Amino acid sequence: MSYDLTHVRHDPAHCLAPGLFRSLKRGERKKLKLDVTHTFGNDSIRFWGPEPLGCDDLRVLQGLIAMTSISGTKSRGSRGIILRDSASTEEGQQLRLSLDLKWDAIEKDALVARGSFRHLAREIGYALDGGSQFKAIRECIERLWAVSVIVERSGKRQGFRILADYASDRSDGKLFVAINPRLAEAVMGDRPHTRIEMNEIRALKTDAARLIHQRLCGWIDPGKTGRVELDTICRYVWPDKSTNANTIKSRRQTAHKALAELSVLGWKFHQYASGKWEIERPKAPA
């Protein structure tokens, strides 16, 4: 199968925020809420939403950001649209309103992912089984839209939603989704970004591998190495610590299997001490 999208230019703060995306058991979405505060550089970033975000939401966000990319595509048809603060069309104004921009974010540019539910599903590695798959993607977009983000730096604040959802008539399945200004700045190169390969996103099979993969991409650049403890890797999937010996053992085993998935994709892992790993990330394709 041929794909259009080659990579994601992601905001590291969204990638590295502990617990922003997590492994969820059945029913936990109805019981838990999202409230994560993360310090990244000089920024304090709070993510708040009525439901926690899972691995399905992570995959959809990765795909939408890739669809906005100016450089991460093979065809013109999947490039994004820059949504200026002076958007003149009714559609553009509505998308900016849906982002719920506040304070210093009001004058920031946003980006719009342009495509279709089918295109997004294919690019993130979903089986194309029609309506049920598209419904699941729509639900992810709506969960992401419900998440508010407040960024504070040196007393100045920005407020926005992760996404603004705008989809055309169901009959044609077209999709227009705006990403927030911080994500847009990473895509356009106005701030440091994390590169994530779409072929790796599509190849991973388990939630644990996908969650670990994004976190590792967030702090290990292509071709570079990093050191981390296995229990820290476990918290990439389950941010809540456990004192139950069986739970700890099970999580470590799941993390080991997830690392094995990554090793098939060219990631290298060396255990240099008990429970401590040196990880080498593959170089970016030429």
Provide the pLDDT confidence category of residue 164 given band limits of 50, 70 and 90: confident
Work out the percent of the chain whose per-residue pLDDT is above 70: 81
User: In the prediction, which pLDDT does 127 show?
Assistant: 74
Residue 219, pLDDT above cutoff 90: yes
Q: Do 56 and 152 belong to one domain?
A: yes
Look at residue 150 and tell me if it is in a domain. Answer: yes
Comparing 116-130, 195-209, 246-260, the range with the smallest average pLDDT is 116-130
User: In the prediction, which pLDDT does 81 show?
Assistant: 66
User: In the prediction, which pLDDT does 108 show?
Assistant: 63
CATH of the domain at 279: 1.10.10
Q: Which amino acid belongs to residue 140?
A: C
Domain of residue 127, residue span: 7-197
User: In the prediction, which pLDDT does 71 show?
Assistant: 46
Look at residue 83 and tell me if it is in a domain. Answer: yes
Q: Do 179 and 237 belong to one domain?
A: no
**pLDDT: which is higher, 177 or 131:** 177
Q: What is the dihedral of CA 189, 226, 21, 138, to 10 degrees?
A: 50
- pLDDT average, residue stretch 200-226: 97
Q: Do 131 and 212 belong to one domain?
A: no
Look at residue 2 and tell me if it is in a domain. Answer: no
Q: Do 187 and 248 belong to one domain?
A: no
User: In the prediction, which pLDDT does 245 show?
Assistant: 96
User: In the prediction, which pLDDT does 75 show?
Assistant: 43
Q: Do 213 and 187 belong to one domain?
A: no
Q: Do 191 and 226 belong to one domain?
A: no
User: In the prediction, which pLDDT does 78 show?
Assistant: 40
Q: Do 25 and 99 belong to one domain?
A: yes
* Three-class SS of the chain: CCCCECEEEECHHHHHCCCCECCCCCCHHHHCCEEEEEEECCEEEEEEECCCECHHHHHHHHHHHHHCCCCCECCHHHCCEEECCCCCCHHHHHHHHHHCCEEHHHHCCEEEEEEEHHHHHHHCCCCCCCHHHHHHHHHHHHHHHCCEEEEEECCEEEEEECEEEEECCCCCCEEEEEECHHHHHHHCCCCCCEEEEHHHHHHCCCHHHHHHHHHHHHHCCCCCEEEEEHHHHHHHHCCCCCCCHHHHHHHHHHHHHHHHHHHHCCCEEEEEECCEEEEECCCCCC
Say if residue 221 is exposed, middle or buried (CB neighbours under 10 Å; 0-12, 13-18, 19+).
middle
Query: pLDDT tens for residues 73-82?
Result: 454 334 566 6
Q: Do 116 and 170 belong to one domain?
A: yes
Q: Do 171 and 250 belong to one domain?
A: no
Residue 188, pLDDT above cutoff 80: yes
User: In the prediction, which pLDDT does 92 show?
Assistant: 57
Q: Do 176 and 89 belong to one domain?
A: yes
If one counts every other C-beta atom within 10 angstroms of the C-beta of residue 131, the result is 10
Answer with the one of 168, 197, 226 that is the final residue of a domain: 197
Query: pLDDT tens for residues 124-158?
Result: 998 766 677 888 998 999 999 999 999 998 888 98
Supply the mean pLDDT for the chain.
86
Residue 87, pLDDT above cutoff 60: no
Q: Do 163 and 248 belong to one domain?
A: no
For residue 45, what are its two tokens? 């970033």
Look at residue 248 and tell me if it is in a domain. Answer: yes
Answer with the one of 197, 229, 264 that is the final residue of a domain: 197
Residue 70, pLDDT above cutoff 70: no
Q: Do 146 and 229 belong to one domain?
A: no
Look at residue 274 and tell me if it is in a domain. Answer: yes
pTM above 0.75, yes or no: yes
Question: Total structural domains in the chain?
Answer: 2
Look at residue 1 and tell me if it is in a domain. Answer: no
Provide the pLDDT confidence category of residue 212 given band limits of 50, 70 and 90: very high
Residue 196, pLDDT above cutoff 60: yes
Task: State whether the Cα torsion 72-189-45-252 is positive or negative.
Answer: positive
Residue 91, pLDDT above cutoff 80: no
Answer with the one of 197, 227, 258 that is the final residue of a domain: 197
